Amino acid sequence: MAKEEEKPKVKLPDSEYQGVWIFIEQRNGKITPVSLELLGEGRKLADKLGVELSGVLLGYKVGHLVDTLYQYGADTVYLIDDPVLEQYRSEAYQVGVVDVVKKYKPEILLFGATVIGRDLASTVATELGTGLTADTTRLDIDMKNRLLEASRPAMGGNIMATILCKEKRPQMASVRPKVFKAIKPVEGRKGKLIEETINLNEEDLKTKVIEVIQEVSDKIRLGDADIIVAGGKGLQDEKGFQLIRDLAKELGAAVGASRDAVEAGWAEHSEQVGQTGTTVAPKLYFAIGISGAVQHTVGMENSEIVVAINRDPNAQIFEKCTYGIVGDAFEIVPKFIEEFKKL
Ligand code: FAD
């Protein structure tokens, strides 16, 4: 007789953990867009669970941001305002976030998958001894088990893996920018402010910020661009890829690239769109000489309008576009440039 398979023993989560929390990332006193996007998505999760949505805001002289967070959906804001938090340092921010989490016990804690968010989320999860799903692109709630479902591309982008954190609390995830939408701010919406202190002095910290050097670039940043002109292997060589840069210049757009174009050395990694590049959601996205592999489209499928140019009528990119042009990029793109020059 076959032995009955032993079922995993899942300990039910501690019900004293309640509420959805968003780590509010601010730089130089400005809230990063991904934090507002996460408040938008967090609002849906909190409403589904019937709990409060809160923002955790750390920094120095950042109290003026609290009203904005209410307007974008937060019911409560936990604020730690202290000189040691003026510049981001993981050792200080980790102490602040871990202390408030231990005190107030949220069941879900989300971070933007930015340089800061990725760094902080991993150290906070380690300190709390809980799980973290990194770089997620979809969130939902399994209502039967009251569990966060955090999904992300896996197996080279061929499948979406949904990851659950069954036994530990809070359930943590970092979420890619541009995946979710912020709600329209509600003017005059008010919430509750809880101010906390941090038990740290400058002398306790090993890292000191001596100088902050801003990157000077006249390029439009991919993640912020309203229009992106992206090129792929179909451009054949660096000279061919120059057509992408010419069209982008004409439109005041950012340049994007497929991974194959980056690997060929025609574009920089900072220009790569997709699973291992940047996730973008511009108003207008040109995909030129790009086949439309899932690892690419996962990074641009939230674009409002997609124009694809490909000489293969069966190219996968045509399944993801608003307007598709079957033809040779070397004939079509120069015509586009010529026409846009007239405007
Ligand atoms: P191809 O697939 O070679 O497509 C070129 C296209 O150009 C073809 O459709 C062809 O019909 C068309 N073409 C050719 N000549 C012309 C012409 N004259 N005019 C018009 N069209 C023409 N890819 C990414 O882009 N971003 C990622 O972040 C990414 N991450 C990855 C992560 C993993 C783990 C793996 C395994 C892969 C990843 N990839 C990523 C690679 C991805 O799978 C594809 O290989 C890649 O996107 C293909 O690039 P491409 O479309 O430029 O090239």
- Residue 275 tokens read as 């699973």
d(CA 206, CA 201): 11
Asked whether the predicted pLDDT for residue 136 surpasses 90, the reply is yes
d(CA 195, CA 181): 28
Over the chain, what is the mean pLDDT? 92
Asked whether the predicted pLDDT for residue 14 surpasses 60, the reply is no
Percent over 70 (pLDDT), the chain:
95
Asked whether the predicted pLDDT for residue 1 surpasses 70, the reply is no
Residue closest by Cα to atom 4 of ligand 1: 291
- Average pLDDT of span 146-153: 93
Residue closest by Cα to atom 34 of ligand 1: 156
Q: Which residues line ligand 1 (CB under 6 A)?
A: 156-157, 232-234, 258-261, 272-277, 289-291, 293, 295-296, 299, 309-312, 315, 328-330
* Distance set, CA 206 to CA 88, 97, 264 (Å): 13, 18, 41
Residue 245 assigned ligand-binding role:
no
Residues 56/78, Cβ–Cβ less than 8 Å: yes
Q: Is the model more confident about 293 or about 5?
A: 293
Residue 183 assigned ligand-binding role:
no
At 243-292, the pLDDT tens digits run 999 999 999 999 999 999 999 999 999 999 998 899 999 999 999 999 99
Nearest-10 crossing angle of helices 238-251, 329-342? 30
At 122-135, the pLDDT tens digits run 999 999 999 999 99
- Residue 77 tokens read as 């804001």
Asked whether the predicted pLDDT for residue 109 surpasses 70, the reply is yes
At 36-93, the pLDDT tens digits run 999 999 999 999 999 999 999 999 999 999 999 999 999 999 999 999 999 999 999 9
ipTM over 0.90: yes
**Range with the poorest average pLDDT among 34-38, 172-176, 185-189, 220-224:** 220-224
Residues 193/79, Cβ–Cβ less than 8 Å: yes
Q: Buried (b) or exposed (e) across 183-200, using 16+ Cβ within 10 A? A: eebeeeeebebeebebeb
Residue 162 assigned ligand-binding role:
no
- Residue 16 tokens read as 């004293």
pTM equals 0.79
Q: 155: CA distance to ligand 1 center in Å? A: 17
Residue closest by Cα to atom 11 of ligand 1: 312
Which band of pLDDT confidence, cut at 50, 70 and 90, is reported for residue 215?
confident
